[in-house]
Amino acid sequence: MTISERDIEAAQTGPHPATRPDAEARAFGARVGFFYAALFLIYGIHLPYLPVWLDWRGLTAQQIGLVTAAPFFVRLVVTPVVAIYADQYGAHRSFVIALAWSSLAASAALAFAPGFWSILAVAVALSLAITTIMPLVETVAVSGVRNGGLDYGRMRLWGSVAFVVATFAGGAVIARAGAGSGVWMIVAGAAMTALASHLLPHPRLATGAVKGPARMPRLDEAKRLLVSPVFLLFLLAAGAIQGAHATFYTFGALNWGNQGISPTMIGVLWTIGIVAEIALFAWSGLVMQRMWATTLLIAGGMAAVLRWAMMTFEPSLVVLIPLQVLHGATYGAAHLGAIHFLSRAIPDATAGTAQALYATVAAGIAMGAATLLSGHLYATYGGGGAYAGMTLVAAIGLAAAVAVRRLWDGERLGGGERTAAAASDLSSRARLSPEEG
């Protein structure tokens, strides 16, 4: 199937002037960006320092792995169900508000949890709340990309900025006040997120949709998506590449501490990685004009294989710095490519379902399984063995990403509709690899 010259020209010259962000759309983007910033204040402490707090509470490596992995599996049911109801009733904002206040309650309860089983129960509730929020907000943001002419990266980067601030400040606070302070910083971030949730706009402000509940995706539409080889390979690619971060997210700070790296320097290392991610998001508009969406997935997979293979040797600080720069690809490029793939390949009727499946697989099944594997490998073989396992996981993701690039023809999956953006992807692919066009 050929691509018309008109489609290629439209795609390469960017959005039509009528679709460029107006004042209302820019305000929409600012409110979404502010919420990302508040939410990532939690992530910036929860991700690197919750394991440190759990270790301070006396949990073993296996128990820490269980506490961090269990929420990923609970999400298999909760996250898609929440997303389906949010799509059906147009209740994304209401669910986000409820989940944000739930995260505040759970984080406060975690501070007083007396033992392992109570810690496990409350930590699962907290993680479930703060992670189920994400696909709901991503659906809101993508609606602004599709219909408001907004740049996803420019909204999302404020989350990364907040993550840097929280991670760097968190390391400094823990260095001065001790590991027990970590949970109280999570409580503070949850309080900010609960307040910010009331400023989050409804998707229809960007889409111009009429008031009332959104149409529930028909069963045949969802079925076509779920049996699509391209979509299933995409889920495998995104899940494996993101899941390969499990050792780093769960045991990275602990392993660096065992190497003699100070908490402050650990915060600096996390900051370096997120700054690289921010740089990519800041220039995402230009990147996506010149690159095919799954090319970014492939770049993320290649960087992940290199990054985790090098981490098996527990390198010195001089080597860790450039390895942390690769986070801009292993997470940033992979996530950006995934979001734009969903925006370009998924029909509007199943957009929310696809977002929930991506979140459930990438941040649920894959991350949960990889985290359990990391807990076993870390306890048995140490940091080097755990990172070697993640290198293999990343290689699987890379192979799947290459397969998606070869198989996807630019059409909406199950819908047969090719957008100008998809045409640009194909023209870019043809320029890079004429034999595959």
Residue carrying the six token digits 């971030």: 189
5-207+218-436 maps to CATH 1.20.1250.20: yes
For residue 146, name the pLDDT band (cuts at 50, 70, 90). confident
Which residues touch 233 (CB under 8 Å, ≥6 apart)?
Answer: 400, 403, 404, 407
| Token pair in block for residue 360 | 């459930």
Q: Which range has highest mean pLDDT (23-27, 220-224, 376-380)?
A: 376-380
Q: Are 182 and 63 in contact (CB under 8 A)?
A: no
Q: Are 154 and 282 in contact (CB under 8 A)?
A: yes
Checking if the pLDDT of 274 tops 50, the result is: yes
Burial (CB count <10 Å: 0-12, 13-18, 19+), residue 18? exposed
Compute the average pLDDT of residues 89-96.
Answer: 83
Length of the chain measured in residues: 437
CA distance 226 to 345: 13
Residue carrying the six token digits 């080597």: 319
Checking if the pLDDT of 9 tops 70, the result is: no
For residues 220 and 239, the model is more confident at 239
SS3 149: coil
For residues 379 and 348, the model is more confident at 379
Q: Number of helices (H) and strands (E), helices first, in the chain?
A: 20, 0
For residues 87 and 156, the model is more confident at 156
pTM: 0.72
Q: Are 72 and 364 in contact (CB under 8 A)?
A: yes
Give the number of other CB atoms < 10 A from CB of residue 76: 14
pLDDT, residue 79, reads: 79
**Among 90, 103, 95, 108, which residue's Cα sits nearest to residue 43?**
103
**Among 389, 387, 235, 355, which residue's Cα sits nearest to residue 297?**
235
DSSP string, 2-42: ---HHHHHHHHT-S-GGGS--HHHHHHHHHHHHHHHHHHHH
**3-state DSSP helix/strand/coil percent for the chain, to nearest 5?**
85, 0, 15
Give the number of other CB atoms < 10 A from CB of residue 220: 9
Cα-only R_g, the chain: 21
